Structure 1
């Protein structure tokens, strides 16, 4: 949508109206008349990109979306990715009708069908599955990189209406991130993400938040204003690397070697935060001679075993009043996760 053209005369007139409108309703109405968005209908929308699913506001004129802006549902800012949704909406090659496959799978042969036919087909398949194997035989998933805060909850509600369906755990990225971060740092990713501005040292390893987390980039800048350092580890000089205090350009594929080297240096120089490792990480979990995590109950994935320094016995990691060992004595039939990692880091 083209930007409104404002002449110098219009600018001065608007400036005068702005300063006087607070004390004059008529002038306030005149200023409103100059508002290019006046008269447009607005609707709550949401960005379906698989990054932050930001809330958006859609402006509609004569039944067509003419503008998109941030809905100010949180303190982020709209990015070019979300604002470009209007171009996606009216793209010439956008599929506007349901398509039915008529050839073999993979041939790419489809024909357009009506919405009624599509809905009747889907409803029929759902009823058929429920009648045969119950509603749990239906798998609902929308984590395809095109999801949002509006239709995801609607999908869950529809599944519950059918009697409850099978769902995937998390989405393409969130489930993996949460599963990895909880045993490592004891917090969910969203907890750490929302406290970026309180960080003293930010390590961006293989990610590019200036592009992929634009709505949160202002938190990185706030941290920098408070004295935080931003270091980027990335083979290429990304947009974030340009704004960082230091860019570490590693050879592609050497991330693991660098990580193990950092761990080795931290341990060798007595920099391990032992209280933190004990309280918030899986470093104290025991592994057997094959490197498999040891559990009290094979059916309980959360029953990790640790060696208690107080009782000198193997106990569950979540037992009360224990002091889990970060390393066990040489010759023991088991070792800790920390010991295993340090052995891997030694070379």
Structure 2
């Protein structure tokens, strides 16, 4: 028998992982402890579903291995860590920054590397703090989505996309080098719905993935030949007179 949800305090949350689904979550608390979580049906995109990582949050919160306080390695490369106070941690970092500035006459030796997993406020705040210190070194780009940004910008002129729900209106969907059946389960629901409406699904991938197994067509190309295939497709579109010249011109 399922528990009576009236017995719990219910908190609304959003999954903070580096995933664009940003799943809505309901957290059920009893006696000041999380008992279980579930997806919120208030989200029209996720429709109350979560992935395995989402459902594991309760275990993650109460894991004995969770780091909840500043830790300092007793000796470099020793693997031995001791707990220190927040004041000591912040003081140590501040002292090193001042020492570096006095030694080099600048803070170019101080590098800030941000990217996946800390977008939004938690990403912009450190940048603001670092800028207030003067000239510092920053890393640019990530190993993840710059290729997608460039593709969108070159194709559409900007990083603007349709709502994922628009997938159900598609007549032909090309899934190139992606495996949403595993990595974007909420998007996959709309792909299935489009397929039920008559859309054809083509998956292009060197690996026969779960998504490929659910597709109407599967092109198993050799690793590293994506560019050749894309150029061949572009040439066919041009030679066949399928180019929308008015769209490209305007």
Extract unaligned runs of 5+ from structure 1: 7-33, 280-347
Aligned residues of 2:14 and 2:22 also touching (Cα < 8 A) = no
Corresponding residue for 1:54? 23
Aligned residues of 2:10 and 2:26 also touching (Cα < 8 A) = no
Q: TM-score, normalised by structure 1?
A: 0.56
Q: Which residues of 2 match residues 292-311 of structure 1 at below 5 A?
A: none
Aligned residues of 1:231 and 1:246 also touching (Cα < 8 A) = yes
CA distance in 2, matches of 1:138, 1:191: 40
The number of residue pairs the alignment matches comes to 241
Corresponding residue for 2:208? 237
Corresponding residue for 2:193? 222
Q: TM-score, normalised by structure 2?
A: 0.74
Corresponding residue for 1:191? 162
Change in CA separation of 1:44 and 1:127 when aligned onto 2, cut-off 3 Å: farther
Is residue 40 of structure 1 aligned with residue 12 of structure 2?
no
Corresponding residue for 1:258? 229
Aligned residues of 1:99 and 1:110 also touching (Cα < 8 A) = no
Is residue 98 of structure 1 aligned with residue 70 of structure 2?
yes
Give me the CA root mean square deviation: 3.5
Aligned residues of 2:73 and 2:82 also touching (Cα < 8 A) = no
Aligned residues of 2:114 and 2:139 also touching (Cα < 8 A) = no
Corresponding residue for 2:82? 112
Shift of residue 203 of structure 1? 0.3
Extract unaligned runs of 5+ from structure 2: none
CA distance in 2, matches of 1:206, 1:214: 16
CA distance in 1, matches of 2:112, 2:222: 40
Shift of residue 207 of structure 1? 0.3
Change in CA separation of 1:231 and 1:141 when aligned onto 2, cut-off 3 Å: same
SS, match of residue 195 in structure 1: helix
CA distance in 2, matches of 1:154, 1:130: 25
Corresponding residue for 1:298? none
> Bigger radius of gyration, 1 or 2?
1
CA distance in 2, matches of 1:235, 1:174: 20
Aligned residues of 1:47 and 1:56 also touching (Cα < 8 A) = no
Q: Deviations over 1:277-298 (max 9, x none)?
A: 334xxxxxxxxxxxxxxxxxxx
Is residue 273 of structure 1 aligned with residue 244 of structure 2?
yes
Shift of residue 130 of structure 1? 8.6
